[in-house]
Amino acid sequence: MDDIIKDFHDLTEIPPFQQMISDKKYMDTEEYLDVLQMNIGRKCNLICKHCHVNAGPARTEEMSREVMDACLTFAKEQKIVTIDITGGAPEMNPHLEYLIEESSKICGHVIVRTNLVILLEKEYEHLMEVYARNKVEVVCSLPYYRAPEMDKVRGAGAFDKAIKVIRRLNAMGYGRNPELVLNMVYNPAGAFFPPDQEAMEKEYKQKLLQDFGIEFNNLYTLYNNPMGRFGAFLRKSGNLNRYMKKLFDAFNADTVEALMCRTQLSVDYDGQLYDCDFNLAAGMPVNGGQTIFDVTGEPYQVRKIRMDKHCYACTAGAGSS
């Protein structure tokens, strides 16, 4: 379990997340699953400051074909609506193309989360065609619409590379053709909250179109979850208590019913199951500790969701889940 979970227990002025849920049925999953999220590896070409899974070039963990096949079997059995592929940089898993092709046969909605920059590398640039051919929804993280702010998070030159990739995706129809969805994600660069999503989306669309001729579908503004590198930054900078208090003060009970963990299951590279990617980062497997191999061929069972104080990041403001 991540050390920061232990630190949460010292924050006595912030009540356990479970105490904030008035209707206890929301502490359980729904009786069905919509989304199967697959974290197919920790390897990444970048070392982002807010990464909750500590991904980077030195990481070697990656999902095998065997685990992928078990996930695909499970998705078919449970009539999964969306397969959501994340990492690390998913592109660095050698089986990604196989996973996309097979996933698109099973469900109508496949998502790949990308840092964009990876798609300029010769080894991976063909994957843009794979995405388009399979009508994959591309969700890209773009920390800001100007170079100085983004390069501070991603490293020198990251912004210009990302813009180049988005232009290529636009040329292929992404963000323009209704069947080729290009969504962006904004995370704050420090220990502060994101601005209003609707206003930020309008600003992003205006600036990116005006300055670079870029188009996209939607922008999602997310609260940084206090896990991984961002959690380490909060501790090192002495901001953990203040940030957690801000998340607690921003708790919105109306977001609880629609929390992603209620209709989603996350699978790590080794097949271990988690309620969400943040619990994965925290080292908190599902109650019972099952793997994907344990649940294939079995009827779906409602489970009690594992919760801790990092869950406040998903219920702050308008919700970040």
Q: 285: which strand partners?
A: 274
What the block records as the tokens of 218 is 């939607």
- Rounded distance between C-alpha atoms, residue 32 and residue 190, angstroms: 36
User: Which parts of 214-272 are beta strand (E)?
Assistant: 218-221, 264-267
Structural domain total, the chain: 1
Backbone torsion region of residue 319, taken as left when φ is above 0, otherwise alpha when ψ lies between -120 and 50, otherwise beta: left
Q: At 183, is the secondary structure helix, strand, or coil?
A: strand
Q: Which amino acid type is present at position 265?
A: L
142 lies in which domain range? 31-225+259-299
Query: Residue 184: its pLDDT value, please?
Result: 97
Q: What is the CATH number of the domain that holds 193?
A: 3.20.20.70
DSSP 191: S
Query: Residue 4: its pLDDT value, please?
Result: 75
DSSP 255: G
Residue 304 lies in a domain: no
Written as one string, the DSSP assignment of 193-211 is ----HHHHHHHHHHHHHHH
pLDDT digit string (tens) for 298-321?
Answer: 999 999 999 999 999 999 987 666
Q: Which residues of 260-282 are buried (b: 16+ CB within 10 A; e: fewer)?
A: bbbbbbbbbbebbbbbbbbbbbb
Residue 36 lies in a domain: yes
Q: 137: which strand partners?
A: 111
- Rounded distance between C-alpha atoms, residue 230 and residue 49, angstroms: 6
Residue 236 lies in a domain: no
Do 36 and 84 form a contact (C-beta atoms < 8 A)? Answer: yes
DSSP 122: T
Q: Which amino acid type is present at position 128?
A: M
Q: Which residues of 53-69 are buried (b: 16+ CB within 10 A; e: fewer)?
A: bbbbeebebbbeeebbb
Residue 273 lies in a domain: yes
- Taking each helix axis from N to C terminus, what angle separates 228-236 and 240-249, rounded to the nearest 10 degrees? 120
Residue 318 lies in a domain: no
Residue 321 lies in a domain: no
Give me the residues of the chain with pLDDT under 50, please. Answer: none
Residue 152 lies in a domain: yes
Query: Residue 151: its pLDDT value, please?
Result: 82
Do 84 and 263 form a contact (C-beta atoms < 8 A)? Answer: no
Q: At 287, is the secondary structure helix, strand, or coil?
A: coil
pLDDT digit string (tens) for 145-177?
Answer: 998 888 887 778 889 999 999 999 999 999 999
- Rounded distance between C-alpha atoms, residue 182 and residue 114, angstroms: 11
Residue 234 lies in a domain: no
From residue 107, alpha-carbon distances to 66, 83, 192, 230 in Å are 19, 7, 37, 33
Query: Residue 1: its pLDDT value, please?
Result: 54
pTM, two decimal places: 0.95
